[in-house]
Structure 1
């Protein structure tokens, strides 16, 4: 796939089918997790048994362990003399069930296994072994919920799902039932008796246990668990010489087996149930690991950002306490201002440049096929340092290339036509270029129109994400992007990479990566502050971030070979490209599913623990954001919007990444999206003067 060719073409309607696929996958994942949460007892409305409100009828209270409820009474039966029916509740258990089966085979004995439906679906091989070795299978309900306190719908599900699981696991159905949380028949009191009556109406034979006071040679039904204790107690009974026969419940009573072959439809339904439960279980386990890894990486990233930002601050302080870089740079500067229909903000941009403390300027406005008054307004500024060049629309890279051909200076500054500069921003921006190894400098972009919630979210993203990232990238020598809003370049460095390429939709990222490939360093000057207008609607934000993300993918693909190179190019490739791939592509791709699983943890797991982990992660983000705001000399009061950002804004950015990756994988050509400008950033600055940076923060 040649990503480098995709920025040259346009497609009117990008593919949308993958959204349908995502909307299909997420409900499947949600339903699987919901089913997994219910079947593993993490939330179970019938887990706790209610106290009995009435005893069982007299006809059933005779100590007999096997009964069928009829009307207000019951038919009961005892095991014959010297006959013991071994019964095992719960399971199958992958550790103890095989040991119990080996014990029974060694003693030539048979038993009745009352199985959980959920465990039968999880371990179908053990269910088949139980059946194939001649043992009897009964139902212990699907999850072991208390049917006496469950609704009629829940009770029916507990029984029917168990039958479905057994049909899928061993191709059988059963009409033997033991009610969970019961032992002897007299414990089936209160609500349990109502549940027993409903089960009898459905054709089930109820099996309790014989009281421990009744011992061989009297006939007994013994109740054991799938555990070490159950194994030991069963062994003890098998060694009892008073018992002459160890058998199943129905065989001990001399009745036909109540385990019957399942129909084809039942087997198909059972296989579907097993597959669904297996999917939910495996997904839950894998997502537990994935969530832990993603959370760990997220925390690691925030800590790394804060620590390396501190290193950056100290490094800059050392530079400025002595000679600033190598010398003060006062060379003439050419500023390129590409503009397409920018009448709302171009005048404020030009006037902020003309008010710069760096006076030796050549400002070139490239009107790239505007249909509004952009060129007229630019000429109306009336300053000889401003030159307006008009051309047919060719896109931002083409406009920058045209402007570069008119440039007379060796230092080139590229900006957006809606960017408003602080008076000293230009002079500070070019100071790092005193070092001849530096090919480009990124300035500090701030959000001007931040009065609304969407603008505040982007303001926090610029400070916490972009600007704090740039401090880290400078320390690690892997800056991936000099923003189009404010960046300074050496002209000879631009010549070395062949000028401004139009291979991608993110020409600034492509340009920065190309500089690393030719051995030029890229640094960040946080004191060079420029204010920009960000999208004011979600649709504009989507279009902007879609272009950014897709263009970044194109640039990463174009410069992928940097990973294997040496020197500055190799450091950039192995550090910068790896960071982008991990934190801006891979993790956001999994974010929607991780969010679904996090919701699963709140609903079905330890809610307090899940909320606590989320609050801890939020606290780390708040602390890091506060530190980033302080470094950028911003007010901390905007932190209130950060928790809300996690629920809406982040989700949109995750979906942008998904859309971009799918578009790239499908090889779709994408046109350049331009944001509608309203000039609100400039109005904001006029109403409320921006805080002036006065130096580095103390921490």
Structure 2
């Protein structure tokens, strides 16, 4: 199996070397890495050159800086890297972040998982962050969901789901769509991936606006969006937070902002959410 790894990077001079070093140290050697330099203004370009000049497995694509919108920016950079490659040459397509450290056996373990399980469509490890000098499980998502910084797709699955969507919520949309098509998303907990910086630290969007927009672009109907909003408000123990999320969601609906998913895909996402809701809360 051969890997195509796309890494979007914007001003990652401090973190990117750790990511690329961890790739060079992989026990599995058959991969190509495309680093998409998304308008960096620091020394990211020089960092990338140190690898592309001495290792033919590393290439780069340079972009003008794109607008910093959660979700769409990183997927836009990913797609610009992907279109420079002939995907027929690869079996596994990866979207990695520029601030992770992979264990040395990461690619080998993922390759074996795909090889031995033809139903696997998306595979990844678990994210760990540094806390008080130790690496601990991040805990921002359930342990059955492959997080955005370390996605590895079987190429056939990636093609069937239509690739990644330039929208907030893309890394949940992919999971739902592939499962709807009969593929499995699998987390390998033994693969501990270190996340160097906290996700979302660069976002300027307010939390309530983020969730409202997220639920809208995920394609949730009003009922499910309100349920999801109440759950987030309960975590914050704030009634006003609920109404602010709803305000942002309804503003998107009023403006009829474009969704990056089809009507059928929207139905699949709502059906999945409703099924999960009944199973978890209604015990049906």
Both structures adopt the same fold (TM-score exceeding 0.5): yes
Which residue of 68, 93, 112 corresponds with 1:431?
112
Quote the residue 1:534 is aligned against: 197
Whether 1:413 and 2:94 are equivalent positions in the alignment is: yes
**Cα displacement string for residues 385-443 of structure 1 (whole angstroms, at most 9, x for unaligned residues):** 11111122342111111222225312012111111111112222333323222211132
Superposed, 1:472-621 pairs within 5 Å as 479=145, 482-502=146-166, 504-535=167-198, 543=205, 549-550=211-212, 552-557=214-219, 585-591=229-235
State the SS of the aligned residue for 1:470.
coil
Alignment of 1:347-496 (within 5 A): 347-381=17-51, 382-394=54-66, 395-405=73-83, 406=85, 407=87, 408-434=89-115, 435-448=117-130, 450-451=131-132, 459=136, 462-463=138-139, 465-466=140-141, 469-471=142-144, 479=145, 482-496=146-160
Paired with 1:442 and 1:489, the residues of 2 have a C-alpha distance of 9
Cα 1:556–1:347, aligned 2, differ >3 Å: closer, same or farther?
same
Question: In the TM superposition, what is the alpha-carbon distance from 1:513 to its structure 2 partner?
Answer: 2.3
Q: Which runs of 5+ in 2 are unaligned?
A: 67-72, 258-284
Q: 1:74 corresponds to which residue?
A: none
Query: What does the per-residue CA deviation read over 1:542-586, in whole Å, with 9 as the maximum and x for residues that have no partner?
Result: 75966874564135326x6xxxxxxxxxxxxxxxx97x975x532
The TM-score, its normalising length taken from structure 2, stands at 0.71
Q: Which runs of structure 2 are paired with 1:292-307 in the superposition (5 Å)?
A: none
CA gap of 1:548–1:532, structure 2 versus 1, over 3 A, is: farther
Q: Contact 1:501 / 1:507 at 8 angstroms: preserved in 2? A: yes
Cα 1:451/1:590, change in 2 over 3 Å: closer
Is the 8 Å Cα contact of residues 370 and 393 (structure 1) preserved in structure 2?
Answer: yes
Q: CA deviation at 1:352?
A: 0.8
The worse-fitting range, judged by mean Cα deviation, of 542-551 and 381-390 is 542-551
Displacement of 1:523 in angstroms is 1.4
Aligned mates of 2:169, 2:161 — CA distance in 1: 16
Q: Indicate conservation of the 8 Å contact 1:426/1:528, yes or no.
A: no
CA RMSD of aligned residues (A): 3.5
Determine which structure has more spread, i.e. the larger CA radius of gyration: 1
Cα distance in structure 2, aligned partners of 1:428 and 1:525? 9
Equivalent position to 1:666, from 223, 230, 251: 251
CA distance, structure 2, for counterparts of residue 413 and residue 421 of structure 1: 13
Return closer, same or farther for 1:522/1:364 CA change in 2, 3 Å cut-off.
Answer: same
Give, in whole Å, the separation in 2 of the partners of 1:370 and 1:441. 29
SS at match of 2:252: coil
Matches of 2:251 and 2:209 in 1, distance apart? 16
Q: Indicate the residue corresponding to 1:336 in structure 2.
A: 6
Q: Give the structure with the higher percent helix.
A: 1
**Distance in structure 2 (CA, Å) of the matches to 1:423 and 1:483:** 19
Q: How far apart in 2 are the matches of 1:419 and 1:547?
A: 27
Q: CA deviation at 1:383?
A: 1.5
C-alpha distance in 1 between matches for 2:155 and 2:201: 37
Kindly indicate whether the alpha-carbon contact (under 8 Å) linking 2:8 and 2:97 is maintained by their aligned counterparts in 1: yes
Please state how far the C-alpha of 1:371 moved relative to its aligned partner.
Answer: 2.2
Instruction: Say if 1:430 and 1:441, in contact at 8 Å, map to a contact too.
Output: no
Contact in 2 for aligned 1:366/1:388 (Cα 8 Å) = yes
- Say how many residue pairs are matched: 242
Unpaired runs of 5+ residues, structure 1, are 1-330, 472-478, 561-576, 597-653, 671-699
Query: Residue 368 and residue 658 in structure 1: after superposition, are their counterparts in 2 closer, same or farther (change >3 A)?
Result: farther
Change (3 A) 1:445 1:519: same
Change (3 A) 1:539 1:391: closer
TM-score scaled by structure 1?
A: 0.31
Would the aligned equivalents of 1:442 and 1:525 in 2 still touch at CA under 8 Å?
A: yes
Counterpart-to-counterpart distance in 2, 1:539 and 1:396: 14
